[in-house]
């Protein structure tokens, strides 16, 4: 067995939207940063075909900036993103080319001086006197020991925090049921114009259950106006085919994200019920069942939906898109009341405003609840309450289940990552714990880097800078 040992100032485990951004933020502050990921590429869920939901609030005002906005601006310059567009259903959509994001992630890491090692997963964490002494990772017969002054867990599942013995919650508070994962896939040969003609002639296709909040104007004209859209519809077709035993997925509607490329859409309509994505047997079953669902759903669409007669699968995502697993105990916590009351505290390191979007892990239903005003994500949700040199960003941060359902979207994960990376750097500069970082000083740095932290900014910033 090959064995490597590395010493860094900051180690970021997990190279998805949160981890990539955390590593960039720390490296840009001059820190020696190592970014590790289980995949053979960087970007995580941003490479699956998903849209970046959460850049704008209910009223179409931009609430996210910093490195997250930098990704969008650079992709837009390359023709791999349409920028931000308001949406009557999702508040806003920001569709990107997933392969373009992979390339951009590598380029930005090299520009910032982030060292990267791929194909590694954490398998052991050594804790000594309340701090992580080292993290052991394994991949391809290689054992890698990483020693760092600060560790930032951006694995989504909180693998490092879990192995360190940290306290966590998972699932809905009353049932423990986890939101289900999805296998994303790409269809080509889709005639969206024909689909829009169909839903215009059959408006009942664009009706939704009582648990789904949306505003008027989410119709054929909206979709025709721009390829920068996310389509959620065909409820009557799905209901009819389910009654006939011909619908292979536990979904009420088709969901697709329009690609920047003509005739190409990214489909988000598989659903893997009763899945704990931290259990290897559940994970295996869900991956395989999800891939089978992609083929059956494609056949159903081809045979029954106008515009999909000639569609075919060109790509199946290499891994599940996971919505929910573990959420860890921080020195602070984001809670549902803060979202619904629009609380922006003086410890906010970023804003959110996306809907509370809970996919049932037991059946085909979804709760899609409006958040009326932007809210603040407190710094304390990024800092472990139990391990002195551990931070987290992304969906494993400290929050309740309803809050996760809103801030699990990528712009907010990126925002958390940027704040964690800067805060870790500040802690090293002052030789203090992340818990003792001056949050006001952190906010000043984030503001200087383009972060959005105040309603004054929200009310004045351009939607597409």
pLDDT tens figures, 96-128: 999 999 999 999 999 999 999 999 999 999 999
What pLDDT is attached to residue 30? Answer: 99
CA distances from 410 to 50, 93, 148, 354 (A): 9, 11, 26, 11
* Residue found under tokens 């664009």: 206
User: Residue 365 falls within a domain, yes or no?
Assistant: no
How many whole angstroms separate alpha carbon 309 and alpha carbon 301?
7
Q: Within this chain, do residues 259 and 346 fall inside the same structural domain, yes or no?
A: no
Q: Within this chain, do residues 346 and 303 fall inside the same structural domain, yes or no?
A: no
| Under 8 Å between Cβ of 321 and 184 | yes
User: Residue 52 falls within a domain, yes or no?
Assistant: yes
For 122, list phi and psi in degrees, rounded to 5: -65, 135
Q: Within this chain, do residues 166 and 205 fall inside the same structural domain, yes or no?
A: no
What is the DSSP annotation of 100-125? HHHHHHHHHHHHHT-EEE-S-EEEEE
Ranges of the chain whose pLDDT falls below 50: none
User: Residue 361 falls within a domain, yes or no?
Assistant: no
Q: What is the pLDDT of residues 131-169, one digit of tens each?
A: 999 999 999 999 999 999 999 999 999 999 999 999 999
Half-sphere exposure in the Cβ direction for 63 (13 Å, CA): 32
User: Residue 248 falls within a domain, yes or no?
Assistant: yes
- Look up the CATH number of the domain holding residue 443: 3.50.50.60
Verdict on whether the full-model pTM lies above 0.95: yes
Tokens of 294: 């992609």
198 CB-near residues (< 8 Å, 6+ apart)? 205, 305, 306, 307
Given the DSSP bridges, would you call strands 326-328 and 312-316 parallel, antiparallel or unpaired?
unpaired
User: Residue 368 falls within a domain, yes or no?
Assistant: no
Closest CA to 67 of 448, 434, 440, 460: 448
| Alpha-carbon dihedral sign for residues 114, 115, 120, 122 | negative
Q: Within this chain, do residues 312 and 332 fall inside the same structural domain, yes or no?
A: no
Q: Within this chain, do residues 51 and 143 fall inside the same structural domain, yes or no?
A: yes
Q: Within this chain, do residues 95 and 224 fall inside the same structural domain, yes or no?
A: no
**CA 165 to chain CA mean position, Å:** 25
Q: Within this chain, do residues 259 and 168 fall inside the same structural domain, yes or no?
A: no
Q: Within this chain, do residues 96 and 140 fall inside the same structural domain, yes or no?
A: yes
What is the DSSP annotation of 301-318? HHHHSTT-TT-EEEEE-S
User: Residue 105 falls within a domain, yes or no?
Assistant: yes
Q: Within this chain, do residues 68 and 12 fall inside the same structural domain, yes or no?
A: yes
Given the DSSP bridges, would you call strands 131-139 and 121-128 parallel, antiparallel or unpaired?
antiparallel
Q: Within this chain, do residues 204 and 282 fall inside the same structural domain, yes or no?
A: yes
Q: Within this chain, do residues 66 and 192 fall inside the same structural domain, yes or no?
A: no
Q: Within this chain, do residues 309 and 337 fall inside the same structural domain, yes or no?
A: no
User: Residue 364 falls within a domain, yes or no?
Assistant: no
Please say which residue of 268, 293, 316 terminates a domain. Answer: 316
What is the number of structural domains in the chain? Answer: 2
What pLDDT is attached to residue 187? Answer: 99
Which structural domain, as residue segments, surrounds residue 274?
185-316
383 CB-near residues (< 8 Å, 6+ apart)? 330, 331, 332, 391, 423, 434, 435
User: Residue 58 falls within a domain, yes or no?
Assistant: yes
């Amino acid at each position: 067995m090959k064995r490597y040992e590395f010493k860094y100032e900051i180690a970021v485990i997990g190279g998805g939207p949160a981890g990539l951004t955390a590593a960039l933020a720390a490296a840009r502050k001059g820190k020696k940063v190592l970014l590790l990921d289980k995949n053979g590429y960087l970007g995580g869920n941003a490479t699956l075909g998903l849209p970046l939901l959460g850049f704008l609030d209910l009223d179409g005002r931009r609430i996210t900036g910093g490195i997250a906005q930098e990704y969008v601006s650079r992709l837009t310059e390359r023709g791999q993103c349409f920028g931000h567009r308001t949406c009557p259903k999702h508040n806003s959509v920001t569709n990107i080319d997933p392969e373009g994001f992979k390339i951009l992630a590598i380029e930005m890491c090299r520009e910032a001086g982030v060292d990267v090692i791929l194909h590694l997963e954490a398998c052991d964490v050594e804790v000594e006197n309340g701090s992580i002494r080292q993290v052991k990772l394994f991949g391809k017969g290689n054992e890698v020991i990483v020693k760092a002054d600060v560790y930032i867990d951006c694995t989504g599942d909180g693998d490092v925090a879990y192995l360190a013995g940290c306290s966590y919650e998972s699932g809905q508070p009353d049932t423990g049921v986890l939101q289900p994962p999805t296998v994303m896939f790409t269809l080509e040969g889709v005639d969206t114009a024909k689909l829009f003609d169909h839903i215009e002639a059959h408006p009942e296709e664009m009706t939704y259950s009582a648990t789904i909040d949306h505003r008027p104007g989410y119709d054929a004209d909206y979709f025709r106006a721009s390829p920068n859209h996310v389509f959620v519809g065909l409820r009557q077709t799905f209901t009819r085919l389910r009654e006939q035993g011909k619908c292979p997925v536990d979904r009420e509607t088709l969901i697709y994200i329009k690609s920047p490329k003509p005739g190409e859409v990214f489909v988000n309509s598989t659903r893997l019920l009763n899945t704990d994505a931290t259990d290897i047997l559940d994970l295996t079953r869900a991956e395989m069942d999800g891939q089978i669902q992609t083929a059956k759903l494609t056949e159903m669409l081809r045979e029954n939906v106008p515009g999909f007669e000639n569609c075919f699968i060109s790509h199946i995502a290499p891994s599940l898109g996971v919505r929910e697993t573990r959420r860890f105990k921080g020195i602070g916590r984001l809670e549902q009341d803060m979202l619904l009351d629009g609380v922006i505290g003086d410890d906010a390191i970023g804003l959110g405003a996306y809907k509370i979007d809970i996919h049932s892990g037991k059946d085909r239903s979804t709760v899609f609840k409006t958040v009326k005003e932007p809210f603040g994500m407190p710094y304390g949700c990024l800092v472990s309450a139990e391990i002195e040199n551990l931070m987290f960003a992304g969906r494993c941060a400290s929050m309740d289940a309803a809050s996760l359902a809103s801030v699990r979207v990528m712009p907010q994960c990126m925002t958390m990552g940027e704040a964690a990376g800067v805060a870790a750097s500040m802690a090293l500069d002052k030789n203090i714990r992340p818990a003792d970082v001056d949050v006001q000083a952190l906010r000043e740095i984030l503001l200087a880097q383009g972060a959005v932290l105040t309603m004054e900014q929200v009310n004045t910033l351009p939607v597409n800078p």
